């Protein structure tokens, strides 16, 4: 049986663990059980050390040095545990890993030891200043606004977890002081003239590739540019597309031949109806023989629909094959650089996403209904109005703006009778 003694009226317990010659001490203080070792084999010395240890704890508790509430570090651990389980399959692994990274690298080192009630609007503002000074010292420039926004989002979600657990009464004010509404800038896109310049350059590259062995990639890039700019698909949506997801149909309302696309992307499964300009590129993609290097799982149906070009085996695509198995990023960048289209006039870099923005802007310029565009692009009217519509000049009705009241006719001065 273990030896056990109490001191200070039962407030402190002194005991030995099995097979240990040294005495341990324990107490319950500030809502938690606390233990330590006296490192002494003598009972009398162990009692003296235990008494001193207890009195020091009492002093720290009185001075606020011991937290009697949950700390931010504990709330962060609970939040990340919940987030991994609840969002499994709903958010991408990259985003979930980002939550862990932001908490571990930035938030917990700063807020971790603080009790939850100590995190106030002032503390959050101190964090913003700390991050700015830290980034400038390390990299010579402040963190991007979006980076800080994501960190504050993670902070807010962590504190909401504490509220749900009953560890915190209410959220502090996390808004950014001294900052007016940020300038809303349009997304980088290609104007009609720039878009024409781009697809003419990709078409020339498809017909005259700089290296013959990259002819297939050059043709794929040209068709991707036309396909994306005539469907408005997000790049990740286009890269997930299989041939069986796309159907060529006759649209009764417009009388045009278009594509009906079953889209799988960040918003789940949705549908898209293309512009007529997407049909010919899709037909070329469907009829184009693809080399074995196009994907890792090239299948030949017992030699059917396949041929040989030199030493490279070619085949027609299967319904389950990806339409765009590889994104020719470097070739796209090279063409943009060659045509002086790499950035827009505000210096924003153009990417594959710019083709989606081009589709939306061109539809607005043609007078398409903004609600139908939003549905077809699987986004909201608010997003389109915020980032696109306010920057399209054709959305302004000059006839409605330049209204002038007719001037009243001046009365003629007639002689008195």
Q: Which one has a higher pLDDT value, 296 or 343?
A: 343
DSSP annotation of 238 reads H
**Contact of 241 with 371, CB cutoff 8 Å:** no
Residues in contact with 3: Cβ distance below 8 Å, sequence separation at least 6, in sequence order: 15, 16
Query: Is it the case that residue 417 has pLDDT exceeding 70?
Result: no
Is the pTM of the predicted complex or chain greater than 0.85? no
Whole-Å CA distances, 325 to 218, 285, 315, 321: 13, 11, 14, 8
Residue 360, pLDDT above cutoff 90: yes
- Evaluate if residue 169 carries a pLDDT over 80: yes
Confidence of residue 354 (pLDDT cuts 50, 70, 90): very high
Kindly give, in sequence order, each residue whose CB lies less than 8 Å from that of residue 216, ignoring residues fewer than 6 positions away. 288, 290, 291, 294
DSSP state letter for 106: I
Measured in whole angstroms, how far is the alpha carbon of residue 170 from the centre of its chain? 27
- Kindly state the percentage of the chain with pLDDT values over 90: 52
**CA nearest 346: which of 391, 381, 384, 395?**
391
pLDDT at 4 (0 to 100): 87
Q: What is the pLDDT of residue 392?
A: 63
Q: How sure is the predictor about 267, in pLDDT bands with cuts at 50, 70 and 90? A: low
State the pLDDT at residue 297. Answer: 38
Strands (E), 148-239: none
* Phi, psi angles (nearest 5°) of residue 92: -65, 155
Tell me: the pLDDT tens digits for 205-222?
999 999 988 999 999 999
The alpha carbon dihedral of 330, 233, 229, 203 has a sign of positive
pLDDT at 68: 64
Among 71-85, 89-103, 390-404, name the one with the lowest average pLDDT: 390-404
Whole-number Cα distances in Å, 375 to 137, 322, 324, 382: 46, 24, 24, 12
Pinpoint the alpha helices (H) of 91-189: 93-102, 108-111, 121-139, 145-164
Q: What is the dihedral of CA 390, 394, 395, 398, to 10 degrees?
A: 120
Backbone angle region of 354, left / alpha / beta, with phi > 0 → left and psi within -120 to 50 → alpha: alpha
Mean pLDDT of 342-346: 88
Nearest to 298 by CA among 317, 319, 283: 317
For residues 230-242, average pLDDT: 93
pLDDT of amino acid 301: 39
- pLDDT at residue 307 in the model: 43
Of the candidate ranges 126-135, 197-206, 286-295, the one whose mean pLDDT is the lowest: 286-295
Q: What domains sit in the chain, N to C, each tagged with a CATH number?
A: 4-62 (no CATH), 72-164 (1.10.150), 192-395 (1.10.443.10)
CA 291 to chain centre: 34
Q: How confident is the model at residue 306 (pLDDT cuts 50, 70, 90)?
A: very low
Residues 186-211 have pLDDT tens digits of: 788 999 999 999 999 999 999 999 99
Average pLDDT, the chain: 86
Query: Lowest mean pLDDT: which of 86-100, 155-169, 192-206, 286-300?
Result: 286-300
Across the range 218-243, mean pLDDT stands at 95
């Amino acid at each position: 049986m273990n030896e056990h003694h109490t001191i200070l009226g039962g407030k402190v317990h002194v005991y030995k663990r099995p097979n240990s010659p040294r005495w341990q001490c324990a107490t319950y203080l500030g809502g938690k059980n606390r233990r330590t070792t006296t490192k002494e084999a003598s009972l009398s010395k162990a009692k003296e050390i235990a008494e001193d240890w207890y009195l020091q704890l009492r002093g720290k508790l009185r001075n606020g040095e011991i937290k009697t509430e949950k700390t931010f570090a504990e709330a962060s651990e609970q939040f990340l545990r919940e987030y991994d389980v609840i969002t499994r399959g709903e958010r991408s692994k990259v985003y979930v890993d980002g939550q862990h990274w932001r908490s571990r690298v930035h938030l917990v080192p700063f807020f971790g030891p603080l009790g939850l009630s100590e995190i106030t609007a002032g503390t959050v503002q101190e964090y913003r200043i700390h991050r700015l000074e830290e980034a400038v010292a390390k990299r010579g420039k402040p963190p991007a606004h979006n980076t800080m926004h994501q960190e504050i989002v993670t902070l807010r979600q962590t504190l909401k977890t504490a509220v749900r657990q009953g560890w915190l009464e209410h959220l502090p004010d996390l808004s950014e002081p001294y900052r007016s509404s940020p300038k809303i800038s349009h997304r980088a896109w290609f104007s009609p003239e720039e878009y024409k310049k781009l697809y003419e350059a990709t078409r020339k590259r498809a017909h005259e590739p700089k290296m013959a062995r990259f002819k297939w990639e050059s043709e794929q890039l040209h068709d991707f540019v036309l396909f994306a700019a005539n469907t408005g698909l997000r790049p990740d949506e286009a890269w997930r597309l299989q041939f069986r997801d796309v159907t060529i149909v006759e649209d009764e309302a417009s009388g045009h031949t278009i594509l009906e696309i079953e889209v799988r992307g960040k918003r789940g499964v949705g549908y898209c109806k293309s512009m007529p300009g997407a049909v010919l590129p899709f037909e070329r993609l469907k009829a184009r023989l693809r080399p074995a290097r196009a994907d890792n799982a090239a299948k030949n149906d017992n030699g059917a629909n396949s041929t040989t070009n030199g030493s490279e085996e070619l085949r027609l695509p299967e319904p389950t094959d990806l339409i765009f198995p590889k994104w020719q990023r470097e070739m796209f960048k090279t063409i943009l650089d060659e045509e002086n289209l790499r950035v827009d006039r505000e210096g924003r870099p153009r990417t594959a996403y710019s083709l989606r923005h081009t589709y939306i802007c061109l539809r607005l310029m043609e007078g398409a209904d903004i609600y139908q565009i939003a549905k077809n692009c699987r986004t909201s009217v608010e997003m389109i109005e915020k980032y696109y519509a306010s920057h399209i000049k054709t959305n302004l009705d000059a006839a409605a703006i330049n209204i002038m009241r007719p001037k009243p006719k001046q009365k003629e001065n007639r002689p008195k009778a």
